[in-house]
Amino acid sequence: MTPDRLIAIPGAVNLRDFGGYPGLGDRPVRRGKLFRSGALDRLKDVGIPQFNALGIQTICDLRRPEERDQEPTPTTLSARRVEIPMDPGSAIAMREALAKEDLDAKARIDYMVAINHELAAHHQEDYAQLFQALLDTDQGGFLVHCAAGKDRTGFAVALILHALGVAEDLVLSDYLFTNSAVDLEGQVLPRMRRYYGDRPLPELEAIMAIAGVRPEYLRAAYHAIAQDFASLEAYLEDALGMDRDRRHTLAQRYLQS
């Protein structure tokens, strides 16, 4: 994984180009067309024109309505917006549990595994809508994001890369790059200190269980797929509507000739 995938724009969170990997027929995924990030509300005035200069045509926002209200995307961004709210049941349960007590690292990891399992099992229609938004993006770039740009977004990016024929080890490498891309000192810890107030922060492993990603999170999504589908290819086609013609269109648009 190369650092040049990170796009340094003031206020951007986990903003990355996920092109460049070899795809179908060893054709590289185009750079400057596929992007992922966390919430965009912290983009500074100087960062907004830099973001607009990326040429992104579509921003696909996977956050819940209350997340969008609390951290609104700047209206001065030039891209059209597609909102596909996702809120797995285990995410609701985790928020409720955290409101009552601190959870240790193992409990947090267990919740995150369950969340990612549910993304694949219960949000197939949502990810089908995401692929439709991707196919509708016929001019500029496409950006998918959620709050931190790692779980809802991470699975979305994994699916897109798989659909373009990127090898599973490279998909996992891109997924795990969030752990290097996240700004723990500058973005994560300040927000946690505001939330915790005078209470001591959890240990680092517990923080990163939610602020970062682990291989078992993505594997949980794959396990959910394997329970009901013969393969990931079958999941893409039968659950998400990405048949041969639509995948051909995707490849023509996002793979280099």
pLDDT value of residue 200: 80
Query: 155: closest CA among 130, 183, 187?
Result: 130
pLDDT value of residue 3: 57
For 89-101, b/e burial (b = at least 16 CB within 10 A) is ebbeebeeebeee
Could you give the CA distance from residue 37 to residue 9 in angstroms, rounded to a whole number? 11
pLDDT value of residue 172: 98
pLDDT in tens, 28-47: 999 999 999 999 999 988 89
3-state secondary structure of 6: strand
pLDDT value of residue 193: 79
Mean of pLDDT values over 225-249: 97
pLDDT value of residue 2: 53
pLDDT value of residue 183: 82
Angle between helices 244-254 and 124-136 (to 10 degrees): 50
Query: What are the structural domains of the chain?
Result: 3-254 (3.90.190.10)
pLDDT value of residue 189: 79
Query: 156: closest CA among 166, 146, 147?
Result: 146
Q: Please report which confidence band the pLDDT of residue 87 belongs to, taking 50, 70 and 90 as the band edges.
A: very high
C-alpha to C-alpha distances, 13 to 36, 38, 127, 137, nearest whole angstrom: 9, 5, 22, 23
pLDDT value of residue 40: 96
What's the N-to-C CA distance of the chain in angstroms? 23
Least confident of 21-25, 57-61, 208-212, 224-228: 208-212
3-state secondary structure of 45: coil
Tokens 């996992």, located at residue = 172
C-alpha to C-alpha distances, 75 to 16, 39, 41, 80, nearest whole angstrom: 21, 13, 10, 10
Model's pTM, two decimal places?
A: 0.95
Residue 175 host element (H or E): helix 168-176
Q: Please report which confidence band the pLDDT of residue 257 belongs to, taking 50, 70 and 90 as the band edges.
A: confident
pLDDT in tens, 128-186: 999 999 999 998 999 999 999 999 999 999 999 999 999 999 999 999 999 999 887 77
Parallel, antiparallel, or unpaired for β 34-37 and 16-17?
antiparallel
